[in-house]
């Protein structure tokens, strides 16, 4: 199932976000917003039609980048996301979409635990196993070019992927899953945390 918004069948609610540095009057950006420069981004707020000089048509919105495509990693053979055109640093490339749940193992498989707790001080996971967006197959790298980041406007909270450096055409878009991996990393970076384990079998199945 392909999602275009977070699926919230249980009606999980989050405390409302702050109004930002301009008290809800918008970001005030003079040039196109990015996650590196926008005042909304500095407060972990995403831009939309109501709080952005550019009406949310910017690099800090929830819009998925149009230059992402699904491909196979030549080294591992598993699916991943590749940029077929350049993406500058500080650009939101899309949301990590799935089903919001109150229970589940944190950060394993397609499960991503939110740092912000729901009302009632409850932990929430985004489960993209059986339904999600394109970004659910972002692969791990020990030297990633993007990162996951929680953003919120009003009571709508989500996770986006933000580029941490310029991405070149044909480059795979990767993020870090952290240092507690449930598989052997084969990202190929010289500083890979599993560089001494490459001779071992990896029992993770290709998604």
pLDDT digits (tens, 9 = 90+) for 51-110: 999 999 999 999 999 999 999 987 778 899 999 999 999 999 999 999 998 876 555 668
CB 165 within 8 A of CB 34: no
**SS3 call for 136:** helix
For residue 160, the tally of other CB atoms under 10 A from its CB is 23
CB 47 within 8 A of CB 138: no
Q: Are strands 92-95 and 156-163 parallel, antiparallel or unpaired?
A: antiparallel
pLDDT of residue 185: 83
* Whether residue 17 has pLDDT greater than 80: no
pLDDT tier for residue 23 given thresholds of 50, 70 and 90? low
For residues 170 and 62, give the distance between their C-alpha atoms in angstroms, rounded to a whole number.
Answer: 23
Alpha-carbon dihedral sign for residues 197, 83, 144, 113: negative
* Whether residue 192 has pLDDT greater than 50: yes
CB 81 within 8 A of CB 138: yes
In order of their start, the domains of the chain are 1-207 (2.170.270.10)
For residues 93 and 65, give the distance between their C-alpha atoms in angstroms, rounded to a whole number.
Answer: 5
Q: How far is CA 38 from CA 35, 41, 46, in A?
A: 6, 5, 9
For residue 116, the tally of other CB atoms under 10 A from its CB is 14
For residues 23 and 147, give the distance between their C-alpha atoms in angstroms, rounded to a whole number.
Answer: 27
The residue ranking higher by pLDDT, 36 or 203, is 36
Cβ neighbours for 1, distance < 8 A, ≥ 6 positions apart: 130, 131, 132
CB 34 within 8 A of CB 91: yes
Q: Are strands 68-72 and 79-83 parallel, antiparallel or unpaired?
A: antiparallel
Q: Which of 10-24, 125-139, 143-157, 167-181 shows the lowest per-residue confidence on average (mean pLDDT)?
A: 10-24
Alpha-carbon dihedral sign for residues 54, 55, 61, 67: negative
Q: Which of 19-28, 145-154, 158-167, 184-193 shows the lowest per-residue confidence on average (mean pLDDT)?
A: 19-28
pLDDT of residue 21: 60
């Amino acid at each position: 199932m392909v999602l275009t918004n977070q699926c919230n069948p249980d009606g999980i609610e989050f405390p409302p976000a702050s109004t930002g540095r301009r008290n809800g009057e918008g970001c005030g950006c003079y040039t196109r917003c990015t996650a590196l420069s926008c005042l909304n981004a500095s407060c972990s707020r995403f831009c939309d039609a109501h709080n952005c000089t550019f009406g949310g048509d910017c690099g800090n919105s929830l819009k998925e980048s149009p230059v992402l495509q699904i491909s196979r990693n030549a080294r591992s053979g598993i699916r991943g996301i590749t940029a077929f055109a350049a993406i500058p640093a500080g650009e939101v490339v899309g949301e990590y979409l799935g089903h919001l749940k109150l229970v589940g193992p944190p950060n394993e498989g397609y499960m991503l635990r939110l740092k912000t707790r729901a009302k009632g001080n409850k932990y929430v996971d985004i489960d993209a196993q059986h339904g999600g967006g394109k970004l659910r197959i972002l692969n791990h790298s020990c030297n990633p070019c993007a990162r996951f980041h929680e953003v919120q406007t009003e009571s709508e909270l989500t996770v986006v992927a933000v580029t941490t450096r310029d991405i070149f055409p044909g480059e795979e878009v990767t993020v870090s899953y952290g240092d507690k991996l449930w598989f052997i990393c084969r990202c190929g970076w010289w500083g890979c945390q599993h560089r001494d384990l490459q001779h071992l079998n990896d029992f993770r199945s290709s998604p």
